[in-house]
């Protein structure tokens, strides 16, 4: 079963008038990873699509989505698939790729229908593309690792980069995930924005009775959204994006926009946050 929805772009002046319900309506994504369903959210921020596929009892095939305006889903798009569950497989054309937990499959423009099988819990990301790059399975050993933060500031972490120019070619998608050292809970600090690219976060591996407080908004008009396990948040290009959890967690970050320069960001000084 395929379920889709559309999220429209919101400007910062409007966003600062939102109450909790309105913030969640436009930026918070719940209901992902439902058994035997493909769930997709089409965002008007850089036309990013995020969603999930959970083929618990039978394979699920993604052929098209009316929101893209194309006959096939990947006719003008590229895709990244992250498996956050047990071992599963993704078939692209006549080739089947086995994905273990934490592995990523990049699928290039024009690849055709995608079929998800097995016990995987697949997180899907897609953005418009201008050319086709080879479909590539990226294992943990192939990813780029960047250690950041410090135990003293509770943000000691490793950034594991999968869709990155030094790992796998893509048109505009960048993605990976971040894991924390024991006792660290703050992500993406110090804060920054990148007005040339939007971003989406998926929080996972978070205990069911714990939460992450995700910060967003303009640097001088911060807001927060409370996140549970396996929920996502859409971060506009004008918004900060960082958070802290009440327990250990992992988060997948993904970007789409003008470039694939991971370090293209505008830092926000701690004293400028409001």
**pLDDT band, residue 257 (cuts 50/70/90):** confident
Between CA 112 and CA 168 the distance in angstroms is: 20
> Tokens in use for 29?
């994504």
Between CA 160 and CA 179 the distance in angstroms is: 8
Q: Residue 102: left (phi > 0), alpha (psi -120 to 50), or beta?
A: left
Task: Over range 10-27, report the average pLDDT.
Answer: 96
Whether residue 40 contacts residue 2, with contact meaning beta carbons closer than 8 Å, is answered with yes
pTM of the model: 0.95
Between CA 52 and CA 37 the distance in angstroms is: 8
Summarised one tens digit per residue, pLDDT across range 162-174 is 999 999 999 999 9
- The domain segmentation of the chain, as residue ranges, is 2-272
**Which positions ≥6 away from 262 have C-beta within 8 Å?**
161, 164, 165, 174
**Strand-pair partners of 103:** none
**Three-point CA angle 250, 143, 238, nearest 5°:** 55
**pLDDT band, residue 272 (cuts 50/70/90):** confident
> Tokens in use for 119?
């016990």
Summarised one tens digit per residue, pLDDT across range 107-153 is 999 999 999 999 999 999 999 999 999 999 999 999 999 999 999 99
On the question of pLDDT at 33 being above 90, the answer is: yes
Dihedral sign for Cα atoms in the order 241, 242, 247, 252: positive
Residue range 2-272, CATH number: 2.60.120.10
**3-class SS of residue 187:** strand
CB-count exposure of residue 147 (10 Å: 0-12, 13-18, 19+): exposed
Task: Over range 7-15, report the average pLDDT.
Answer: 96
* Total residue length of the chain: 274
């Amino acid at each position: 079963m395929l379920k889709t929805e559309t999220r429209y772009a919101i400007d910062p002046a409007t966003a600062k008038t939102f109450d909790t319900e309105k913030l969640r309506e436009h930026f918070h994504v719940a209901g992902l990873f439902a058994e035997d369903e493909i769930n997709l959210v089409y965002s008007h921020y850089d036309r990013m699509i995020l969603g999930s596929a959970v083929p618990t009892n039978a394979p699920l095939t993604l052929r098209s989505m009316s929101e893209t305006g194309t006959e096939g889903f990947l006719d003008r798009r590229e895709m990244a698939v992250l498996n956050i569950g047990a071992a599963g497989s993704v078939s692209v054309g006549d080739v089947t790729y086995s994905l273990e937990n934490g592995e990523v499959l990049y699928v290039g423009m024009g690849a055709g229908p995608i079929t998800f099988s097995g016990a995987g819990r697949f997180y899907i990301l897609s953005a418009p593309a201008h050319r086709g790059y080879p479909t590539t399975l990226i294992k943990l050993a192939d990813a780029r690792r960047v250690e950041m933060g410090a135990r003293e500031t509770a943000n000691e972490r490793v950034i594991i980069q999968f869709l990155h120019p030094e790992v796998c070619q893509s048109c505009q998608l960048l993605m990976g995930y971040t894991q924390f050292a024991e006792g660290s809970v703050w992500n993406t600090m110090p804060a920054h924005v990148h007005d040339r690219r939007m971003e989406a976060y998926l929080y996972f591996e978070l205990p069911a009775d714990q939460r992450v407080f995700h910060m967003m908004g303009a640097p001088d008009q911060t807001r927060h959204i409370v996140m549970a396990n396996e929920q996502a948040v859409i971060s506009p290009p004008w918004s900060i994006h960082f958070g802290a959890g009440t327990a250990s967690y992992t988060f997948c970050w993904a970007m789409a926009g003008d470039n694939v320069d991971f370090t293209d960001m505008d830092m926000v000084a701690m004293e400028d946050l409001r």
